[in-house]
């Protein structure tokens, strides 16, 4: 398998994993019932906090999916592995850590 095919497979696997996590957590983001007869105030507040955390996780996963899609586009266009800001090579170790990373370490630090 070529490096490009391996990278594509890695990105597709990451996308599938994130999409699966989003589906599993969808039920945790439903509105919290406000019936004080069945749930106490503190339990309800705890449920609302858990719901907010799940919504924040989902927002981060949506950003990750966009990043993966952008990396797949760069791969198709022959631009993968180059910084989208300065055009320099992205260090292979950096791409290994996060195959969807769009910036070299220098541009990411600024």
Q: Is residue 67 part of a domain?
A: yes
Q: pLDDT digits over 2-60, tens only?
A: 689 999 999 999 999 999 998 887 665 555 555 555 556 677 788 788 888 988 999 99
Which has the minimum average pLDDT: 12-26, 35-49, 63-77, 93-107? Answer: 35-49
Report the alpha-carbon distance of residue 89 to residue 31 in Å, rounded: 46
How many domains does one find in the chain? 1
Q: Is residue 39 part of a domain?
A: yes
Q: Is residue 58 part of a domain?
A: yes
- Domain containing 51: what range? 3-80
Could you give the 3-state DSSP secondary structure of residue 89?
strand
Collect contacts of 91-99 with beta carbons under 8 A, ≥24 apart: 95/7, 99/7, 99/10, 99/11, 99/14, 99/71
Report the alpha-carbon distance of residue 68 to residue 98 in Å, rounded: 10
Instruction: Give the position of tokens 């497979």.
Output: 9
First to last CA, the chain: 36
């Amino acid at each position: 398998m070529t490096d490009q095919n391996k990278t594509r497979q890695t990105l597709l696997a990451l996308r599938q994993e994130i999409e699966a996590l989003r589906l599993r957590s969808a039920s945790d983001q439903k509105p919290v019932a406000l019936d004080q007869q069945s749930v106490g105030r503190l339990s309800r507040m705890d449920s609302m906090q858990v719901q907010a955390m799940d919504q924040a996780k989902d927002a981060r996963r949506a950003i990750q999916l966009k990043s993966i899609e952008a990396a797949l586009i760069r791969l198709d266009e022959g631009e993968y592995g180059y910084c989208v800001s300065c055009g320099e090579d992205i260090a292979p170790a950096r791409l290994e850590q996060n195959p969807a990373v769009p910036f070299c370490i220098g541009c990411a630090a600024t």
